[in-house]
A and B are shown apart, each in its own frame.
Chain A
Amino acid sequence: QITLKESGPTLVKPTQTLTLTCTFSGFSLTTTGVGVGWIRQPPGKALEWLALIFWDDDKRYSPSLKSRLTITKDTSKNQVVLTMTNMDPVDTATYFCAHKTTFSSASFDPWGQGTLVTVSS
């Protein structure tokens, strides 16, 4: 059974850097085709894909947020970390991590429960 869980601060101040950790079990990020992605959802709004890291350490980012995002993995700890710099109130959202299946690069299953991050001074 694959499970993922996001952890990190619930409140950050504007201009600060957000660091979120996704801790997973039930799969290995060394298995060919596997990846972990981050997706966020502002309250009442649509899903927005942020970043994806593949088993071979290939990394892809949302073009509109690329300059602010860094995704890394620690295969020994079964963790993926996302950092987002220069946080702004518009970045208030629930942040999800998800297991990318081997079927396609836009196929995420399952997802973590999500963690709500509020950006406010």
Chain B
Amino acid sequence: QSVLTQPPSASGTPGQRVTLSCSGSSSSIGGNTVSWYQQLPGTAPKLLIYSNNQRPSGVPDRFSGSKSGTSASLAISGLQSEDEADYYCAAWDDSLNGYVVFGGGTKLTVL
């Protein structure tokens, strides 16, 4: 069973641009779209990006996603204190009859 690999932590200062990475395989990110989720402390995850780079209504355009090969990235520009949260990537994996795989999450700290 594959997983998506994310760095456990990242940090930035207010106003800065930060980029979070997510690495997968040919059967996951390589062949399917990526979603990103934001989880604030004590709350349920919220969909931030779907289909690699699409934002649901209500998500600020400070958040952007991209995908290249078997990796994906989430960029946050104009970092704000309220962006301090855990961020997870997810994708469908075509192996083993198909399943959803999540990354281990990145805890973003706003310094």
A1 at the B interface (CB under 8 A): no
A56 at the B interface (CB under 8 A): no
Q: Is the CB of B56 within 8 A of A63?
A: no
B residues apposed to A, CB below 8 Å: 1, 32-35, 37, 39, 44-47, 50-51, 54, 56, 88, 90-92, 96-105
Q: Is the CB of A111 within 8 A of B44?
A: yes
A101 at the B interface (CB under 8 A): yes
Contact residues of A between 43 and 65, Cβ < 8 Å to B: 46-49, 52, 60-64
Q: Is the CB of B50 within 8 A of A101?
A: yes
Question: B34, B39, B102: which contacts A48 (Cβ < 8 A)?
Answer: B102
Number of A-B contacts (CB under 8 A): 85
Q: Is the CB of B35 within 8 A of A107?
A: yes
Q: State A15–B37 Cα separation when bound (angstroms).
A: 33
Chain B residue contacts of A113, Cβ below 8 A: 44
Q: State A106–B54 Cα separation when bound (angstroms).
A: 13
Q: Is the CB of B1 within 8 A of A96?
A: no
A105 at the B interface (CB under 8 A): yes
Chain A residue contacts of B33, Cβ below 8 A: 103-104, 106-107
Q: Is the CB of A105 within 8 A of B100?
A: yes
Identify the closest chain A residue to B43 (Cβ).
A113
